[in-house]
Structure 1
Amino acid sequence: MKFSSSLKFNAVSEWWDEYIAYDALKKCIYQLEKKQHNLDQSYHDLEANEHSALMSPGDGSNSSTDALFRSLLDRELLKITTFYEQQEAELLDEVKQLEKLVEQQEAAGLAGNHYIAEFGDLDEDDDDDEEDFYDATSPAQSREPGSTSRRRRRRKSSSAGFGREPNLHDRPDSRPPIQHRSSISSSSSGHADLDASLLSLSGPGPAEGQHGSNRSPVATVRRIARKLPLLGESFMKDSSTSSVPENIWSSTSNYAYDTRLLFKRRITAQYIALTSLRSYVEINYSGFRKILKKYDKVTYNELKDLYLHDVVERAQPFTQASKDKLTDNLNQLLDLYAKCVTLGDRSKAKLQLKLHQRENIAWERDTVWRQMIGRERRGDSDGHPKAIGSVVQEEADSGMDVKTPVGRVKFKRRHLFLLIAVTTFIILLNVQTVDGVEANRCFAILMFCTILWATEAIPLFVTSMFVPLLLVCLRVIRDDDGKQLAPPDATKFVFQQMFSPTIMLLIGGFTISSALSKTNIDRVLITRVLSLAGSRPSTVLLAFMGVSCFASMWISNVAAPTLCFTLIRPILRTLPPKSAFGPCLILAIALAANIGGQSSPISSPQNLIALQAMDPPLDWARWFAVALPVSAISIIIIWLFLLVSYRPARSPDGEGEIEIKTIRPTREPFSWKQIWVSFVCLVTIALWCVGHEIADYVGDMGVIAIIPIVAFFSTGVLKKDDFEQFMWTIVFLAMGGIALGKGVMSSGLLQVMDVLIRDMVDGLSLYTVVIVLSPVVLVISTFISHTIASVLLVPIAKEVGSNLKGDHANLLIFITGLICSAGMGMPVSGFPNQTAATQENELGELYLSNIDFLKNGIPSSIIATLVVSTVGFLLMRAIGL
C-alpha cells in the first residue's frame, strides 16, 4: 500500500499542511526524471500507477538533479522543524503547568471545594466538553462521515473558579509564518524546464473519515483545561487552616470525585497531544525515507543515506534528545494520571491512557495483508468480538515455567485440562466401565467432551466437532438390531442428526435477530417503551428489566444486554457519584437477559436442544403459555429483591431520592423496510405458534424458519456478509450436542443408565423428582455454559422422565431447559453476566464486583429456579405435559 494512503489515514487533519508533502514531492521526482533524461515519452510507476521509462544510469546530470531535489527537501524540513518547535514548546510548558496544578491541589486537599458551589451544576458543560473530547480522541467516532469533531462551541468562562490560565488559554498566536506546500512550487519557479504541474503541489488533504482525528490535539488540551480550576492563592489560603490536608486522591467525597474526573480529562488530553506529536515525527521521518528511496530508484542517484543521516536526523524533531524529551514528559503524565486517577496503579494508568490513543494503521506488503483486505471486501471477516469470558480467562491463564530435560517449557492451565481430558479418555477406552463395547466407548467420549466443555481447554465448538469424528471412528453407532454400523453408514446417520430441523430453526432465529438489529427496529421499540418509564428509579429499573428480557427473546441474550448498556449511558453519566442505582441497573439488565433466555424457543440454544429432545416436539404456543408467565413472575420478584438489596432510589448522602434522566424515544417514522421486516417476523412467529396444526403442509418448524431467510436476503434487507457473520460457533456447538445425544441413545449407553435411573426414581412421585432435579441443574449451569449444561442434562432428564409412571419425559426436559437459563450466580455464568462485569464508570472503575454477583446473583438464581419448579410445573401440567 502506498505511503500516501497511510499518511492520509494516520495524519491529524488540523496539522495536514504541516506534514511532508509526499505526493507533491513524488510528482517532482517524475518531472526531474524527465528533465534529467530530456524525455518526452510517458512514464509508468507500478506503485503510483503512473507511467515512466526505464533509463540507464549515467544519462543526464545527477548533481544538478540532486541539488534541485535537495532544495525541495530542505524547505519541507524547515517547515516541519518550525512547526515542531512551536508545538513542543507549548505542550511541554503545559505539562509543567499541569504538574504545578496537581501539586497545588494535593497541598490544598479537600479545602478547595468551594469552587463547586460557586459554579453550580456543570453537567451541561461537561457533556459538551466530553463530546468534544471523545470526538477528538476516539478513532471509531472520528472516522465516521459527518463527524461532529469539527464543530466549534463558544464557552463561558469565569475568573472565580474555572479561571483562565496564563499562557494556556487565549494566548496570542506568536507562531512564525511557516512554509506550506506552496513553498515547493516557489522553489522551483525559477527553473523554466520543470513542468507547470509543479506549481500546484498542495494536493488534497485527508478525506473526511480517513484519519484518526479531526481536531488539533493542542486545541483539545486547551478546551479540557477550561474545566480545571486555577489553583492559586485561594486554595493555599483555605488549605492553611488544616495542618494535615486530607489526601484528595483517595477521598470518596463528591468534590474529590469531580476533581479526579477533571484531572483525568486534562491529563488524558495532554497525553494524546504529546503522542500525536510523537506520531507526527515518526510519520514525517518515514516520509523522508520513502521519498528519498523513490528518488534514488527513479533517478538512479544515491541521496537517501547521505541526506537522512547528515540532514534529517540532525534536525531537532528527529534527534534522539528530542525523542527522549517527549518520552520523559509522557512518563510524567503517566505518573500524574496514576496519582490522580488510579490511586498509584501505574500499569492500570498506562492501560487506560492507551485506550484513548489514536489508532495508527500500518500496511505491510505481504500476502497476509492482501488476503485480509480481500476477506474484508468479500465480507468474509468474522466481525464478532472475542467472548469476554475467554479474554478474561486467557489473561488470567498466564501459566508457569516448568523445567524439563530439554529446557524450560511454559505450561498453561488449559494445557493441564487438556491433558486430564485426554488421559481420562484413554483410560476409559481401555477399562470396562459400563456393559457393552459401544456403550463403554460412548461413555469415554461423553466424559472426554464433558471435561473439555466444562474447562474450555479448547473452544467449545471445536469440542463439538470432535463428536462426529469420535462416534464414527470408534464404531459407536448401532442400528435398530443392535449391530455396529459401518463407518460409511454411521457417517450418514450422524450428519443427518446434526443438521436437523432444530438447527434450521436456530439459523432462522439468527436471521430475525440480524434483520431487527440492522433495520434499527429493536432500538426504536426499546426507546419508545423506556420513554414511558418516567424518572422514578424503581419504575425505570423495572422498565429496563422488562425491555432486556423482551429483547433477549428475539435478538439473543448476547446482543440484548449490549444494546441496553448502550442506552443507559446517559443515565449513568447523570447519576451522583457512588450512587447505588448504577450497579443495580447494570446487574438488573444482566439478570433479566438471562431470564429472557427462557422466554422463547429461539432465545437461547439450550431451548432448542430441549425442543430437539422432546417427543413429540412442543409447539410455540404451549411454550409461551409456560415460559412467559414464569419469566414475568421471575422478573418481578427479582426486581423487588434488588430494590431491597440496593435501595437504588436513595441518594448517596442518604437525604432524599435521586431522579433519573428520562430516555427520549427516536422520532423517526417507520420506513417501508422496517414495516416489511416487522410483517415477516410476525408472520413467521405466528406460524411457529401453530406449527403442529399445519404440520401436514410444512412438515416441521424448521421449514418455517426458511421464510425469513428467503424474505430478507432476497429483498436486500440482509446481505451476504450478514449471513457470514452469524454466530456459527453456536450453530456447531448445538450440532455437536445433538450428535452426542443421538450417540448416547444409539450406542446403548442410555439403556445401561436406564437401569440405574429406574432404581433411583423407583417409588418417587413426579414432583419429588422435579425438586431433586432442579438444584442439580442450577448448580451445573451456574459454573459451566448454559448450552453445555443442557447438552449434558437433557438426555438424563429425558431418561428419568420416561421411567416415571405416565412418561413425563417432555415435562422434565422442559424444566431442565428453563432452569439452565437461571444459572446466573457468578460473573462467568452466561454472556450477560460477563458483559455486565466489564462495565466501567468514567474513571475506569468497575460498577460491579464479585460480591455483587454472589450477594444478588445467587439469590436471583434460586428465585428463578423456584418459580420454574412451582409455577412452571403447574402450568406444564395444565397444558398436558
Structure 2
Amino acid sequence: MLSCLTTLRNFRTLLQLTVPLLLFLPLPVAVQTKASYCGFIVLLMAVYWCTEVIPLAVTSLLPILLFPMFGIMSSQDVCKEYLQDTSVFFLGGLMVATAIEHWNLHKRIALRALLLVGVKPAFLMLGFMGVTAFLSMWISNTASTTMMVPIAQAVLHQLSNSKEEAENTEKSHSSANDIDLETKCSSVDVGVTDVYPSPTPASLHHGSVDDMALAEISKAPEENMNLSVITTEPKDKPGKMKMYKCLTLCVCYAASIGGTATLTGTPANLILKGQINQIYPDNDEVINFATWFGFSFPNMLIILFLCWIRLQILFLGMNFRELWGWGIPVSSKEKRAHGVIEKEYIQLGPMTFAEKAVLTLFCLLVILWFTREPGFIPGWGTVLFDKNGTTYVSDATVAVLIAVLMFMIPSRKPNFTPGNQNQESSKENLTVMNLPINKLLNWVTVQRKLPWNVVLLLGGGFALAKGCEVSGLSQQLGEQLLPLQKIPHWAIAVTLCLAIAIFTECTSNVATATLFLPILASMATSIQMNPLYVLIPATLSTSFAFMLPVATPPNAIVFSYGHLKVSDMARAGFLLNLIGVATVTLAINTWGRLMFNLDTFPTWANVTRK
C-alpha cells in the first residue's frame, strides 16, 4: 500500500494534468458544438487554476491555444483580449505603487500613524489595522503585510519582555541593519510566489496574486528587523502569546479587507470592471474608481471595525477599560514600545524631495480619478474630452499619465545655482552635479517588481468570458438558471457570497472571480436581475479568505512567524467570513441599492435583445 502511494506521489503532476483532460474529454466528443467545446476549456482551466499544477499565468494562456483549435475564436481575436483598458489601468496603478514602495513613502506613513494612535493594546491594534488597510488600498497586500509585521514584532517584543531583557536585546542588536523593506516588498496583489521561511509551496499561490513579492522576502528574512525579535517567545506565554496572535492576525486580515476599498486594491475588483465592460459594452461605465470607492470604502470600514472588535474579544477578552487604557497610566513597557516606533521613524530622516514628489503625484492621481466621472455631476473627462456621447478618457488614461510623469521627474531637487557661485560650496555642488540624476521611477525597478503574471491572469479571464459569449455558452447557462427567478434576489446574493467565500479559501481570488463572474452575469441577465446586485457582492467575497494560512499571501506571511496555529486562524476567520458576507449583504441592500439603482433591470444589461 505504501509503495502504491509513493508511486502516485511521484506521478502526481502527470496525473493532475491528464486526469481532468480525460475526465472532461467526452463533453466535446459527444456534443460537437462551440458551446460544448468552450465548456470543456472552461472546466479544464478551472481545475488547473484550482490545483495549480501549472502556474496560474500559464493556464491563462490556454485560450490562445485552444480557442483557435476548436474553432471558437481566431487567434487574432483572442489575443486582443489580453491587454484591454482594464489591464492598462492595473499596470498604471501598480507603477505608482512601485514608486511609493521604492522611496519608502509607505513606511513613513505607517510609522507616523502608529505614533499618533499610541500603544494601548486596543489602539495599537487599531493603528496597525488602519495603516495596513490604508496601504493595501494602494499597494499590494503582500507588500503592506511584509512591512507591517516586523514592526509589530518589535513592538510586541518590548511589550512582553522585562526592562532588563529589552535593554540587553537592544544593546546586542545595536549594530544590526535597520529595516529595509524596499528591497523585500514587491508590488503585486493579487496572487503570486515564495514565502518567508515558506510554509508550503501551495501557500504561495493561494492568494490574491502576490507570489513575486513573497519570493523576494524569502531571499533574506534575517535582514527584516532584528531576527531575535521575530523568533523570541514572550516570557509569560499564556497572556502574551494571545497578544502576539491578535496583533499578527489583525495585520493580515486588514491587508485583505483594505484591498476591497479601491479598484486597484486587488485584481479581483479589476476583473469585475473588465467583465462588465466586456459583457455589457453599453453600461456607461457604471463601475469606475469613484463609484466603486463610494460603495466599497464604507463597507470596508464597517468590516474593519467589526474585525477589530472580534479579535479583541477572542484573544484579549472583554475588559475594554484595560484594553483601551481608560484611566490607566502608560507603563514602562508601553513607553519602550512607543520608543521602538519613534526610533524607526527618526531613522527615516527628513522627507526627501523624491518622497514629496511621489506623494504629490499620488494625491494628484487620486484627485483625477475621483473627479473624472464622479457620477452626481459632470467630471473633467466629460467636460474636456468626451464628445458626441463617446468616452475618450478612462481611469487608465489617468494612471498612465502619472506613471509617465514619474519616469520623467528627477528624484533630486534641481539645482539652478551655478556650481562656482561661492568657494565654500563649490566642492559640494561639483559632487552633486557629478552624481547620476535618477528619476522617481526607472524601468529596472518596474520590471523587477511588477506582477506581470497578473496581467496574463486578467487577460485570460477576459478571453475566457469572450469565448463563452461568442460560443453561446453564456446564453445556454443563463437559460438553465431561469428557475432561479422564483427565489428572492437577496437570497441568491447571500448564497452566492457564502459559496464564493468558501471556494476562495483554497483558490486564488483572481481565479475565483474569473470563473464565477461570467456565469453570474449570464444568470442575472436571464432572470432579469440587475447584474450589479450579484456581481459586486460576489467580487468582494473573493477577498474574504480569513480561515487558512494558504488562503492568501498575507495569511501565509504571518503564519510563517510561528506564533499561530491553523486552529487559531480558522477560529478567528470563520466568524469574520460570516461578518464579511453579512456586511456586504447589508451594503448592497442599502446604499448600494441607491447608488446603482438596483431595483430595476437596466437597459444596458439586456444584451439578449442584441
Give the alignment's TM-score, normalised by structure 2: 0.70
Letter in 1 for 2:407: F
Q: Please give the alpha-carbon distance, in whole angstroms, between the structure 1 residues aligned to 2:16 and 2:25.
A: 14
> Who is 1:861 aligned against?
577
Q: Relative to 1, partners in 2 of residues 1:691 and 1:469: Cα closer, same or farther, differing over 3 Å?
A: farther
TM-superposed deviation, 1:503: 0.3
Q: Please give the alpha-carbon distance, in whole angstroms, between the structure 1 residues aligned to 2:578 and 2:49.
A: 24
Confirm or deny: 8 A CA contact 2:263 2:292 kept in the other structure.
yes
2:565 to 846, 849, 853: 849
Confirm or deny: 8 A CA contact 1:777 1:816 kept in the other structure.
yes
Confirm or deny: 8 A CA contact 2:494 2:581 kept in the other structure.
no
Q: Please give the alpha-carbon distance, in whole angstroms, between the structure 2 residues aligned to 1:878 and 1:781.
A: 29
> Who is 1:830 aligned against?
552
**In the alignment, structure 1 residue 819 sits paired with structure 2 residue 541:** yes
* Matching of residues 196-211 of structure 1 within 5 Å: none
**In the alignment, structure 1 residue 438 sits paired with structure 2 residue 34:** yes
> Who is 1:387 aligned against?
none
Q: Relative to 1, partners in 2 of residues 1:872 and 1:832: Cα closer, same or farther, differing over 3 Å?
A: farther
Confirm or deny: 8 A CA contact 1:595 1:821 kept in the other structure.
yes
More divergent stretch after superposition (512-521 vs 656-665): 656-665
* Matching of residues 303-342 of structure 1 within 5 Å: none
> Who is 2:288 aligned against?
619
Q: Please give the alpha-carbon distance, in whole angstroms, between the structure 2 residues aligned to 1:699 and 1:509.
A: 16
Q: Relative to 1, partners in 2 of residues 1:714 and 1:400: Cα closer, same or farther, differing over 3 Å?
A: farther
* Matching of residues 461-860 of structure 1 within 5 Å: 461-477=57-73, 490-574=74-158, 575=160, 576-577=234-235, 578=237, 579=240, 580-614=242-276, 615=280, 616=283, 617=285, 618-647=287-316, 660=334, 661-662=337-338, 663-664=341-342, 666-667=345-346, 668-692=349-373, 693=379, 694=381, 696-697=385-386, 698-715=392-409, 716-725=439-448, 726-759=450-483, 761-805=484-528, 807-839=529-561, 846-860=562-576
Q: Please give the alpha-carbon distance, in whole angstroms, between the structure 2 residues aligned to 1:856 and 1:415.
A: 37
Q: Relative to 1, partners in 2 of residues 1:410 and 1:771: Cα closer, same or farther, differing over 3 Å?
A: closer
For residue 705 of structure 1, give the secondary structure of its aligned residue in structure 2: helix
> Who is 1:876 aligned against?
592
Q: Please give the alpha-carbon distance, in whole angstroms, between the structure 1 residues aligned to 2:15 and 2:245.
A: 36
Letter in 2 for 1:588: C
1:99-121 alpha-carbon deviations (Å, 9 max, x no partner): xxxxxxxxxxxxxxxxxxxxxxx
> Who is 1:422 aligned against?
21
Letter in 2 for 1:717: L
TM-superposed deviation, 1:585: 0.6
Confirm or deny: 8 A CA contact 2:354 2:440 kept in the other structure.
yes
Q: Please give the alpha-carbon distance, in whole angstroms, between the structure 1 residues aligned to 2:505 and 2:315.
A: 23
Q: Please give the alpha-carbon distance, in whole angstroms, between the structure 2 residues aligned to 1:732 and 1:548.
A: 27
For residue 666 of structure 1, give the secondary structure of its aligned residue in structure 2: helix
Using CA pairs under 8 Å that are at least 6 residues apart, name the structure with larger relative contact order, 1 or 2. 2
TM-superposed deviation, 1:814: 1.2
TM-superposed deviation, 1:400: 5.3
> Who is 1:261 aligned against?
none
1:699-727 alpha-carbon deviations (Å, 9 max, x no partner): 32222221122111223111121121211
For residue 589 of structure 2, give the secondary structure of its aligned residue in structure 1: helix
1:851-880 alpha-carbon deviations (Å, 9 max, x no partner): 011100111111111101112432211212
1:609-644 alpha-carbon deviations (Å, 9 max, x no partner): 011122423122211111111111101111111111
Confirm or deny: 8 A CA contact 1:538 1:648 kept in the other structure.
no
> Who is 2:427 aligned against?
none
TM-superposed deviation, 1:399: 10
Confirm or deny: 8 A CA contact 1:581 1:648 kept in the other structure.
no
Confirm or deny: 8 A CA contact 2:140 2:265 kept in the other structure.
yes
Q: Please give the alpha-carbon distance, in whole angstroms, between the structure 2 residues aligned to 1:678 and 1:622.
A: 23
For residue 21 of structure 2, give the secondary structure of its aligned residue in structure 1: helix
* Matching of residues 11-22 of structure 1 within 5 Å: none
Q: Please give the alpha-carbon distance, in whole angstroms, between the structure 1 residues aligned to 2:83 and 2:360.
A: 28
1:266-304 alpha-carbon deviations (Å, 9 max, x no partner): xxxxxxxxxxxxxxxxxxxxxxxxxxxxxxxxxxxxxxx
Confirm or deny: 8 A CA contact 1:443 1:749 kept in the other structure.
yes
Q: Relative to 1, partners in 2 of residues 1:645 and 1:817: Cα closer, same or farther, differing over 3 Å?
A: same
**Alignment gaps of 5+ in structure 2:** 161-233, 374-378, 387-391, 410-438, 598-610
Q: Please give the alpha-carbon distance, in whole angstroms, between the structure 1 residues aligned to 2:42 and 2:590.
A: 33
Q: Please give the alpha-carbon distance, in whole angstroms, between the structure 2 residues aligned to 1:505 and 1:541.
A: 33
1:770-821 alpha-carbon deviations (Å, 9 max, x no partner): 122221211111221111110011112212222344x411232111111111
Q: Relative to 1, partners in 2 of residues 1:649 and 1:809: Cα closer, same or farther, differing over 3 Å?
A: closer
Q: Please give the alpha-carbon distance, in whole angstroms, between the structure 1 residues aligned to 2:578 and 2:15.
A: 33
For residue 61 of structure 2, give the secondary structure of its aligned residue in structure 1: helix
Q: Please give the alpha-carbon distance, in whole angstroms, between the structure 2 residues aligned to 1:411 and 1:648.
A: 48
1:442-486 alpha-carbon deviations (Å, 9 max, x no partner): 000000000000111111111011122111221113xxxxxxxxx
Confirm or deny: 8 A CA contact 2:263 2:289 kept in the other structure.
yes
Higher CA-based Rg: 1
Q: Please give the alpha-carbon distance, in whole angstroms, between the structure 2 residues aligned to 1:784 and 1:704.
A: 32
Confirm or deny: 8 A CA contact 1:584 1:648 kept in the other structure.
no
1:447 to 9, 23, 43: 43
For residue 568 of structure 2, give the secondary structure of its aligned residue in structure 1: helix
1:379-423 alpha-carbon deviations (Å, 9 max, x no partner): xxxxxxxxxxxxxxxxxxx99543xxxxxx962433332222222
Letter in 2 for 1:735: G
Aligned length: 451
TM-superposed deviation, 1:649: 9.4
Letter in 1 for 2:86: T
Confirm or deny: 8 A CA contact 1:442 1:749 kept in the other structure.
yes
Confirm or deny: 8 A CA contact 2:63 2:78 kept in the other structure.
no
> Who is 2:166 aligned against?
none
Q: Please give the alpha-carbon distance, in whole angstroms, between the structure 2 residues aligned to 1:825 and 1:642.
A: 13
Q: Relative to 1, partners in 2 of residues 1:714 and 1:428: Cα closer, same or farther, differing over 3 Å?
A: farther
Q: Please give the alpha-carbon distance, in whole angstroms, between the structure 1 residues aligned to 2:85 and 2:408.
A: 22
Q: Please give the alpha-carbon distance, in whole angstroms, between the structure 1 residues aligned to 2:151 and 2:116.
A: 14
Q: Please give the alpha-carbon distance, in whole angstroms, between the structure 2 residues aligned to 1:811 and 1:767.
A: 8
1:715-763 alpha-carbon deviations (Å, 9 max, x no partner): 311112112121111111111111111111111100110111122x222
Q: Please give the alpha-carbon distance, in whole angstroms, between the structure 1 residues aligned to 2:9 and 2:275.
A: 43
Q: Relative to 1, partners in 2 of residues 1:540 and 1:421: Cα closer, same or farther, differing over 3 Å?
A: same
Q: Please give the alpha-carbon distance, in whole angstroms, between the structure 2 residues aligned to 1:857 and 1:814.
A: 22
TM-superposed deviation, 1:601: 0.3
Confirm or deny: 8 A CA contact 1:826 1:858 kept in the other structure.
no
Give the alignment's TM-score, normalised by structure 1: 0.49
Q: Please give the alpha-carbon distance, in whole angstroms, between the structure 2 residues aligned to 1:800 and 1:619.
A: 23
Q: Please give the alpha-carbon distance, in whole angstroms, between the structure 2 residues aligned to 1:495 and 1:688.
A: 28
For residue 498 of structure 1, give the secondary structure of its aligned residue in structure 2: coil
